[in-house]
């Protein structure tokens, strides 16, 4: 009966409305239809209303009957599954292929499904616009009323925001009605995706976006901006750089070609130079280009654009002045995207004056910085709070933040931004002043860290020194460049423990040589500490002549100063000279060591006391007096544990392992050595880990596991040679014994094969292999 009540005239339905009606006819609920079409249930309710209105009915059943009566849809499966729809959009047709980004595309689509406002942020040149356009193009069928891009790059006045949107949507103003109201009416009930591109320069217009969303329940907005909008309901997605290889890892050509940045370079280079090829010979240069350009798509495209003039090797070699070479982008790009400098200028000009000053000043850091260091070096003369300033630059993607190994946040700049800011600093007239503040801060840092190297916090400070090492070496360099030699001397003297422990021997000598060329008057106690650093590094290299030269110089200067602790260290350093093979004079060595020990005890300086006891133990071991050696080691171990000095404890445990091994207590020796190794691994002291592996190899050899022992010797040899470190005199005697035992059990071919296997191991693999108690 109700059929008679249905209108016979039918208003045309859209393709999507027909699709919804077809699914209704199949008995699907609104929720099921929404899932099928990947839209919200609210969207389906809105379509239902449109269908009922056009058909002149008021229920699902009546709508299906009316549609059947007028033949509005074909029930064939083909028609239902592949509706032919001309989707509405104003997206530009892509002129080049889109590279990679599959995880990002998937994540962005899901975020848009779950949220109504999504902002894609990232530094200039990170590919936000291209990625957003690609995603929007993929979503046109889900927004039947249209996907519209609104290019905001050309406007700086936020009052022009609404008129720019209305122009993109072809919505005309109504006389006497505010434009915001006209847009609300135009968008109400419409399933539209707005892509607001380049929002950063009109960030004050953000509340208008919120107002449009509040009044248009089916509207979704995707924004690209170098700064987040910071309004309620905003979901932020930071666009990462393209994937790039690590330069410290060797990978095959085939593996390198999988990286997105290298794929982009190749495709854009081919567009410029059709005969361009990536080969085994040039792949490493291409990989370095992409890595040094931080994986930024714009920078990589600009570099690839030089492929008609330069080989990859030539482009790589010119990257030290990347802002000059990365020019000449396509003429159909905006000026700001035709050079890397242009896009950085664009970001810089959007900052207020104090943010500009802070960004430029922060470039004085090398390897990032902390809130504390930024405040100490960069905050002078600024009215802006340093925390607020950093947060603003982070939000604008001119800095990025990572939680460091110590659990504290650190700020960094992409190297392309860093170079730009350093150039601005050089032109600011503040460069020398900022560099001096940086040097003073890190000289103070190094001196403070030196005091913490022997106690319960040494693990924390070792890690902190490694994190700040780029800043420390930069501070040394700048101190000598700016004629502030005293600061350089202070840092070099303070890094003695760190350089020795981490095996940075060549690095340390580089700066010691620079210091020796100084003609400035430096206090004698500070010069003495630099000579002590040189003596310790020479000892690690196994060079007795240099140890003698530097330790004697340290001793002569320390005698003239009032620094009794440095004098005691100098005495101990001189004693090491006489323990070395070419200079071996055991009585002299014992005399100097005991004199040093007595002075350290008189000064109640525990780190020196424990070290002097260890040295006396080493001398006793060289002479074959293992009982005396054990007594010295055990006393030093007891005091070290009381002080919480893990490093010195590990040294004594390793030495005790050698002592008990000589009396045949293999189980105890292995226990001592493994404990020492675990401590050194925990502290990250690779120098001593290499020595631990040597001793552990000897213990295993004595127990008949010579294959594993030889492998460990190969791994140890690689670690120590990489650092330029040799075995210490007392250890060398034992090493000769270990090699003799191994050669009794393995022939030359087996021995060399095992050594080669160990040399191939990474540091991590060697440690894992050593701590596995199963023998090979």
CATH code of the domain covering residue 141: 3.40.50.300
* Residues 205, 301 within the same domain: no
| Domain final residue pick, 209, 238, 267 | 238
Residues facing residue 221 across a β-bridge: 117, 194
Token pair listed for 627: 């009982």
Tell me the whole-structure pTM to 2 decimals: 0.74
* Residues 190, 326 within the same domain: no
> At residue 85, does pLDDT exceed 60?
no
Q: Is 509 a domain residue?
A: no
Q: Is 374 a domain residue?
A: no
| Domain final residue pick, 271, 301, 331 | 331
> Which carries the bigger pLDDT value, residue 523 or residue 295?
523
User: Rounded CA gap, 477 and 481, in Å?
Assistant: 6
Token pair listed for 710: 């030889």
* Residues 70, 146 within the same domain: no
> At residue 99, does pLDDT exceed 60?
yes
Whole-number pLDDT of residue 582: 65
Which residues in 632-656 are b (16+ Cβ under 10 Å) and which e?
bbbbbbebbeebebbbbbbbbbbbb
User: Rounded CA gap, 130 and 147, in Å?
Assistant: 15
> At residue 7, does pLDDT exceed 70?
no
Domain CATH for 62:
1.10.10.10
Whole-number pLDDT of residue 95: 62
- Residue 765 and residue 719 in contact, taking contact as beta carbons nearer than 8 Å: no
Percent helix, strand, coil in the chain, to 5, is 65, 5, 30
Q: Is 776 a domain residue?
A: no
Most trustworthy range by pLDDT among 225-234, 597-606, 766-775: 597-606
What would the pLDDT profile of 700-738 be if each residue is shown by its tens digit?
Answer: 999 999 999 999 999 999 998 888 887 777 777 788 888
Most trustworthy range by pLDDT among 37-41, 332-336, 399-403, 481-485: 481-485
Q: Is 613 a domain residue?
A: no
What would the pLDDT profile of 141-156 be if each residue is shown by its tens digit?
Answer: 888 888 999 989 878 8
Nearest to 726 by CA among 526, 558, 561, 582: 582
Whole-number pLDDT of residue 774: 45
* Residues 665, 763 within the same domain: yes
* Residues 636, 730 within the same domain: yes
In this prediction, residue 212 has a pLDDT band, given cuts at 50, 70 and 90, of very high
The total number of structural domains that make up the chain: 4
Token pair listed for 723: 């650092």
- Residue 118 and residue 235 in contact, taking contact as beta carbons nearer than 8 Å: yes
Q: How far is C-alpha 688 from the chain's CA centre?
A: 27
* Residues 75, 216 within the same domain: no
Within a 13 Å sphere around the CA of 385, how many CA atoms are in the beta-carbon half? 3
* Residues 672, 764 within the same domain: yes
Token pair listed for 526: 């500070």
Whole-number pLDDT of residue 75: 42
* Residues 203, 277 within the same domain: no
Q: Which domain holds residue 109?
A: 102-238
Average pLDDT of the segment spanning 35-64: 76
User: Rounded CA gap, 187 and 372, in Å?
Assistant: 49
Q: Is 248 a domain residue?
A: no
Range of weakest confidence among 8-17, 395-404, 497-506, 739-748? 8-17
What would the pLDDT profile of 449-479 be if each residue is shown by its tens digit?
Answer: 999 999 899 999 999 999 999 999 999 999 9
Whole-number pLDDT of residue 77: 38
Domain CATH for 685:
1.25.40
Q: Is 29 a domain residue?
A: yes
Which residues in 111-123 are b (16+ Cβ under 10 Å) and which e?
bbeebbbbbbbbb
Q: Is 546 a domain residue?
A: no
Residues 6+ apart with CB under 8 A from 628: 617, 620
Q: Is 326 a domain residue?
A: yes
Question: 62 — phi, psi (to 5°)?
Answer: -65, -35
* Residues 228, 257 within the same domain: no
* Residues 165, 66 within the same domain: no
Which residues in 158-195 are b (16+ Cβ under 10 Å) and which e?
beebbebbbebbebeeeeeeebbebbbebbebbbbbbb
Whole-number pLDDT of residue 327: 62
* Residues 116, 44 within the same domain: no
In this prediction, residue 79 has a pLDDT band, given cuts at 50, 70 and 90, of very low
* Residues 152, 22 within the same domain: no
Token pair listed for 464: 């902190």
User: Rounded CA gap, 220 and 117, in Å?
Assistant: 6
> At residue 578, does pLDDT exceed 80?
no
């Amino acid at each position: 009966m109700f059929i008679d009540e249905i209108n016979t005239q039918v208003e045309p339905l859209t393709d999507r409305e027909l699709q919804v009606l077809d699914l209704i006819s199949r008995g699907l609920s609104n929720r099921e239809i929404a899932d099928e079409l990947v839209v919200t249930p609210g969207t389906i309710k809105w379509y239902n209303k449109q269908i009922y209105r056009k058909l002149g009915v008021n229920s699902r059943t009546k709508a299906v009957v009316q549609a059947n009566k007028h033949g509005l849809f074909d029930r064939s499966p083909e028609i239902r599954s592949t509706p032919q729809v001309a989707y509405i959009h104003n997206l530009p047709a892509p002129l080049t292929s889109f590279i990679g980004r599959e995880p990002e595309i998937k994540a962005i689509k899901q975020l848009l499904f779950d949220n109504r406002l999504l902002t894609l942020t990232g530094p200039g040149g990170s590919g936000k616009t291209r990625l957003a356009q690609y995603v929007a193009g993929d979503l046109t069928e889900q927004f039947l009323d249209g996907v519209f891009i609104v290019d905001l790059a050309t406007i700086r006045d936020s009052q022009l925001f609404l008129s720019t949107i209305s122009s993109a949507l072809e919505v005309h103003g109504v006389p006497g009605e505010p434009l915001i109201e006209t847009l609300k009416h135009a968008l109400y009930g419409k399933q539209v995706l707005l892509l607001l591109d380049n929002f950063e320069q009109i960030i004050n217009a953000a509340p208008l976006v919120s107002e449009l969303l509040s009044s248009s329940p089916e509207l979704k907005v995707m924004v690209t901006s170098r700064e987040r909008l910071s309004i309620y309901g905003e979901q932020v997605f930071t666009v990462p750089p393209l994937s790039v290889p690590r330069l410290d890892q060797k990978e095959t050509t085939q593996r390198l070609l999988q990286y997105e940045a290298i794929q982009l370079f190749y495709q854009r280079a081919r567009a410029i130079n059709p005969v361009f090829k990536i080969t085994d010979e040039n792949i490493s240069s291409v990989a370095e280009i992409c890595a040094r350009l931080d994986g930024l798509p714009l920078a990589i495209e600009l570099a690839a654009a030089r492929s008609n003039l330069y080989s990859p090797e030539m482009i790589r070699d010119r990257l030290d002045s990347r802002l000059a070479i990365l020019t000449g982008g396509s003429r159909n790009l905006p000026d700001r995207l035709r050079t890397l400098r242009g896009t950085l200028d664009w970001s810089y000009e959007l900052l207020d004056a104090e943010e500009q000053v802070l960004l430029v000043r922060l470039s004085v850091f090398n390897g990032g910085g902390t809130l504390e260091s930024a405040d100490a070096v960069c905050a002078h003369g600024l009215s802006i709070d340093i925390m607020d300033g950093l947060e603003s630059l982070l939000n604008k993607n001119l800095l990025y933040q990572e939680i460091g190994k110590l659990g504290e946040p650190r700020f960094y700049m992409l190297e392309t931004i860093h170079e730009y800011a350093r150039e601005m600093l050089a032109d600011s007239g503040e460069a020398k002043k900022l560099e001096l503040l940086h040097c003073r801060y890190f000289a103070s840092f190094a001196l403070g860290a030196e005091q913490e190297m022997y106690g319960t916090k040494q693990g924390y400070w070792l890690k902190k020194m490694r994190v700040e090492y780029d800043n420390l070496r930069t501070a040394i360099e700048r101190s000598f460049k700016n004629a502030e030699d005293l600061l350089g001397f202070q840092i070099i003297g303070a890094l003695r423990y760190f350089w020795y422990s981490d095996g940075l021997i060549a690095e340390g000598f580089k700066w010691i040589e620079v210091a020796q060329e100084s003609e400035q008057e430096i206090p004698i106690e500070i010069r003495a500490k630099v000579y002590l650093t040189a003596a310790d590094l020479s000892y690690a290299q196994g060079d007795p002549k240099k140890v003698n030269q530097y330790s004697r110089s340290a001793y002569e200067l320390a005698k003239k100063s009032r620094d009794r602790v440095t004098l005691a260290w100098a005495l101990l350093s001189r004693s090491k000279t006489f323990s070395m093979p070419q200079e071996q004079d055991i009585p002299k060595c014992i005399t100097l060591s005991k004199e040093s020990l007595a002075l350290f005890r008189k000064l109640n300086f525990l780190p020196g006391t424990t070290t002097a006891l260890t040295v006396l133990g080493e001398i006793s071991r060289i002479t074959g007096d293992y009982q005396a050696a054990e007594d010295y080691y055990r006393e030093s171990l007891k005091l070290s544990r009381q002080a919480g000095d893990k490093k010195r404890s590990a040294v004594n445990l390793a030495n005790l392992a050698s002592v008990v091994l000589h009396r045949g207590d293999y189980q105890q020796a292995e226990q001592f050595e493994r404990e020492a190794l675990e401590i050194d691994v925990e502290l990250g002291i690779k120098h001593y880990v290499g020595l631990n592996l040597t001793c552990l190899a000897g213990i295993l050899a004595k127990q008949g596991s010579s294959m594993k022992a030889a492998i460990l010797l190969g791994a140890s040899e690689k670690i120590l040679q990489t650092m330029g470190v040799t075995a210490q005199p007392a250890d060398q005697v034992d090493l000769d014994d270990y090699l003799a035992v191994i050669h009794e059990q393995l022939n030359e071919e087996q021995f060399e094969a095992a050594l080669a296997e160990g040399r191939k191991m990474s540091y991590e693999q060697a440690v894992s292999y050593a701590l596995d108690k199963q023998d090979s």
